Amino acid sequence: MTNTFLQGPILKGQRALVTGGGTGIGAGIARALGAAGASVVVNYRRSQQEAQRVVNDIRTSGGEAIAIQADVSKQDEAEAMFTAMYDQYGSIDILINNAGIQWDEAFLDMSLEQWHKVLDVNLTAQFICAQLAAREFVRRGVTPDLSVSAGKIICISSVHETIPWAGHVNYAASKGGLMMFMKTIAQELAHLKVRVNGIAPGAIRTRINRAAWETPEAEAELLKLIPYERIGEPADIGRAAVWLASDASEYVTGETLYIDGGMTLYPGFREGG
């Protein structure tokens, strides 16, 4: 699927960092940003090969990208990643806080380790990276040739920032917390011309939710939750991220954009209620 409105180098010259960019939604966003003219850092935690494949795809399409390893929930590793990015590209204009995990368990059985691990990656890592990026945006200020904003942060959240999710309390709490994190720093940084927004994907076909779509039976059950009657693809999120990162959305800050085929429209109420 293409979108002529956002085709072309709408992000030309801008430098973007995508955490967890080697797979799934992050890879879809990295490819979309690269196609829109940004130089893209594809962060990965473990699989250099996956990240390099995304880098190669971007370069093959005429774009610019590099892969940088870091566990973004560790402050020292995140700092080293930003330093390596500045060595290569000079600065940062767009941060996509995308890295995330699930470690599901019934609440009654959930260990503190499961709680902390998910909060560390899904929430604390977003704090670490957003703070590092925002400090650079503020230090550098607006570069009028590149963008009317000093910088853009996009927090990849989930429909579970608003939909409670039994058996996933660590994940849902991390995403609910992320929404208020996003809105609070958006409020705090707006006068500095830093824009902060969230994207809340519904069910996107990636490995994180493979069990929910890999058999026809599971897919049929999942589709009952999606009024638009298809599972989302990483490219659906990529197009929205390009728009939110671009000056086309200049006056948008502190918003969550739900990209979910209507999952948050309470589809159970189509017939009931």
For residue 73, state whether it binds ligand NAD (rule: CB under 6 A): yes
- Determine which residue in the list 84, 110, 192, 208 makes contact with ligand NAD, applying CB under 6 A: 208
For residue 113, state whether it binds ligand NAD (rule: CB under 6 A): no
For residue 99, state whether it binds ligand NAD (rule: CB under 6 A): yes
Per-residue contact string for residues 129-168; x = within reach of ligand NAD by CB under 6 A: ---------------------------x-x----------
Structure tokens at 9: 């180098």
For residue 124, state whether it binds ligand NAD (rule: CB under 6 A): no
Catalytic residue among 44, 86, 89, 171: 171
Instruction: Closer to ligand NAD by CB, 38 or 154: give it.
Output: 154
The distance of closest approach from Cβ of residue 5 to ligand NAD in the complex, given in angstroms and rounded to an integer, is 24
Instruction: Closer to ligand NAD by CB, 100 or 238: give it.
Output: 100
In this structure, what DSSP letter does residue 212 have?
G
Within 10 angstroms of residue 204's Cβ, the number of other Cβ atoms is 22
How many CA atoms are closer than 13 Å to the CA of 242, on its beta-carbon side? 28
Rounded (10°) CA dihedral 25, 28, 30, 31: 170
Question: What is the DSSP annotation of 99-163?
Answer: ------B-GGG--HHHHHHHHIIIIIHHHHHHHHHHHHHHHH---TTT-SSSEEEEEE--GGGTS
CB 57 within 8 A of CB 63: no
Rounded CA separation 206/32 (Å): 16
- Determine which residue in the list 66, 101, 179, 190 makes contact with ligand NAD, applying CB under 6 A: 101
Rounded CA separation 185/127 (Å): 10
The distance of closest approach from Cβ of residue 268 to ligand NAD in the complex, given in angstroms and rounded to an integer, is 19
Stretch that binds ligand NAD, among 54-62, 66-74, 111-119, 128-136 (CB under 6 A): 66-74
Rounded CA separation 126/197 (Å): 12
The distance of closest approach from Cβ of residue 142 to ligand NAD in the complex, given in angstroms and rounded to an integer, is 29
Q: Is 171 a catalytic residue?
A: yes
CB 101 within 8 A of CB 121: yes
- Cβ burial of 212 (10 Å; 0-12, 13-18, 19+) is middle
For residue 177, state whether it binds ligand NAD (rule: CB under 6 A): no
For residue 26, state whether it binds ligand NAD (rule: CB under 6 A): yes
For residue 71, state whether it binds ligand NAD (rule: CB under 6 A): yes
Structure tokens at 270: 């189509």
For residue 72, state whether it binds ligand NAD (rule: CB under 6 A): yes
The distance of closest approach from Cβ of residue 230 to ligand NAD in the complex, given in angstroms and rounded to an integer, is 13
Positions touching ligand NAD (CB under 6 A) are 19-20, 22-26, 43, 45, 71-73, 98-101, 121, 125, 156, 158, 201, 203-204, 206-209
Residues designated catalytic? 171
